[in-house]
Amino acid sequence: MEAQGLDWLLVPLQQLVSWGAAGAMVFGGVVPYIPQYQDIRRTQNADGFSTYVCLVLLLANILRILFWFGRHFESPLLWQSIIMILTMLLMLRLCTEVRVTNELNLKRRSFADFDLHHFWRWSSFSDYVQCVLAFSGVAGYVTYLCIDSTLFVETLGFLAVFTEAMLGVPQLCRNHRHRSTEGMSIKMVLMWTSGDTFKTAYFLLNHVPLQFSICGLLQVFVDLAILLQAYTYARRPPKPAPHAAHPASAKAL
């Protein structure tokens, strides 16, 4: 009787928690980029942020949306992908504007040049948009042709979440090459870690496709490796900056 009497409270509470978890999944992924966006805008320096992070997330979320057409998963994950794509485009626009403003004698490079040596280092935000649209069109057409193949759909799902799991690898490599995490927002990485931990727990509890859970765990390990880099490099004495180098001439990965 007591349990039945509490149903009026427990049922709405469970629904509220469910809505909260879904909302956290949809918008939680973009929160880590807010402090990084603010830092870049304030300092007018994007050297500490790898724009390849944007590339990884754009590819991963486009593939995830295509995977949804072959195997429907929970709606919050679909909306998360849409919100993340818009966020990464905003990050790319800011980074491109800052880089073009800071670099002197910048040679014009565009997506239409098809120069692999300067891939994802273009001079205009519109070139990045063209690249994203071209990839979406080709991937969408292939998915349309192969949508009835279970093997293709499952492989597409794995590629989507595995690509996202590699999110932190460009930042990890950049930090290792420069032996420094200067310019990288520690708050962003801490939010990555907490968000990925929550996301992986959400995957495990809601029985989403296995690819999501495995790659979620991998993503948490990469986040922890970046935090270890930040701790390790912070303990080293800073290297003296060469006088001949212009501070804005350094390029992020």
Whether 10 has a pLDDT exceeding 70, the answer reads no
CA angle 175, 192, 184 (to 5 degrees): 35
Measure the CA–CA gap between 167 and 13, rounded to whole angstroms.
35
Domain count of the fold of the chain: 1
Q: Is residue 179 one of the residues assigned to a domain?
A: yes
Q: Is residue 66 one of the residues assigned to a domain?
A: yes
Measure the CA–CA gap between 248 and 252, rounded to whole angstroms.
10
Q: Is residue 250 one of the residues assigned to a domain?
A: no
Whether 217 has a pLDDT exceeding 50, the answer reads yes
Lowest mean pLDDT among 10-19, 96-105, 114-123, 194-203: 10-19
Give the containing element (helix H, strand E) for 135. Answer: helix 125-146
Whether 130 has a pLDDT exceeding 90, the answer reads yes
Whether 253 has a pLDDT exceeding 50, the answer reads no
pLDDT tens across 202-216, in order? 778 777 777 788 888
Measure the CA–CA gap between 240 and 197, rounded to whole angstroms.
37
Give the closest residue to 101 by CA, choosing from 26, 158, 57, 41: 41
Contact status, residue 58 vs residue 88, Cβ threshold 8 Å:
yes
Q: What is the average per-residue pLDDT within 7-22? A: 69
Going from the C-alpha of 111 to that of each of 5, 119, 126, the distances in angstroms are 64, 8, 9
The full DSSP string for 160-184 is: HHHHHHTTTHHHHHHHHHHT--TTS
Q: What is the average per-residue pLDDT within 136-165? A: 92
Domain that holds residue 123: 17-101+108-235
pLDDT at 145: 96
Q: Is residue 242 one of the residues assigned to a domain?
A: no
Q: Is residue 253 one of the residues assigned to a domain?
A: no
Q: Is residue 78 one of the residues assigned to a domain?
A: yes
Measure the CA–CA gap between 69 and 73, rounded to whole angstroms.
9
pLDDT tens across 24-78, in order? 778 877 888 888 898 899 988 887 788 888 998 999 999 999 999 998 888 888 9
**Proportion of the chain in helix, strand, coil states, percent, rounded to 5:** 75, 0, 25
Q: Is residue 116 one of the residues assigned to a domain?
A: yes
Tokens of 134: 């071209």
pLDDT at 188: 76
Measure the CA–CA gap between 99 and 107, rounded to whole angstroms.
12
Whether 81 has a pLDDT exceeding 50, the answer reads yes
Q: Is residue 157 one of the residues assigned to a domain?
A: yes
Contact status, residue 215 vs residue 164, Cβ threshold 8 Å:
yes
Whether 4 has a pLDDT exceeding 80, the answer reads no
Whether 248 has a pLDDT exceeding 60, the answer reads no
pLDDT at 243: 42
